[in-house]
């Protein structure tokens, strides 16, 4: 009976540690998902306020950088 009890205690401890590890991973996943949703929200807010996803000011600035890089 003593061997069965120690085996049961070991199994319970291992399962508890596994559940804690899975819980931490789920928490980190939710935090990462929250950051992603915030980024998408800011992109959508910029697109609505700016009138489009690509602004002409930014596009011309990027083209100027490419022109300077060629020279």
55 three-class SS: coil
What is the DSSP annotation of the chain? -HHHHHHHHHHHHHHHHHHHHHHHHHHHHHHHHHHHHHHHHHHHHHHHHHSSSS-HHHHHHHHHHHHHHH-
Task: List the chain domain ranges.
Answer: 2-70
Residue 34 is predicted with a pLDDT of 94
pLDDT in tens, 2-21: 999 999 999 999 999 999 99
pTM reported for the whole predicted model: 0.56
Tokens 């060629």 appear where? Answer: 70
């Amino acid at each position: 009976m003593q061997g069965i009890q120690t085996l049961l205690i070991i199994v319970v401890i291992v399962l508890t540690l596994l559940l804690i590890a899975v819980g931490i991973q789920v928490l980190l996943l939710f935090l990462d998902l929250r950051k992603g949703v915030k980024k998408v929200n800011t992109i959508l807010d910029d697109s609505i306020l700016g009138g489009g996803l690509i602004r002409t000011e930014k596009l011309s600035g990027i083209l100027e950088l490419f022109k300077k890089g060629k020279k």
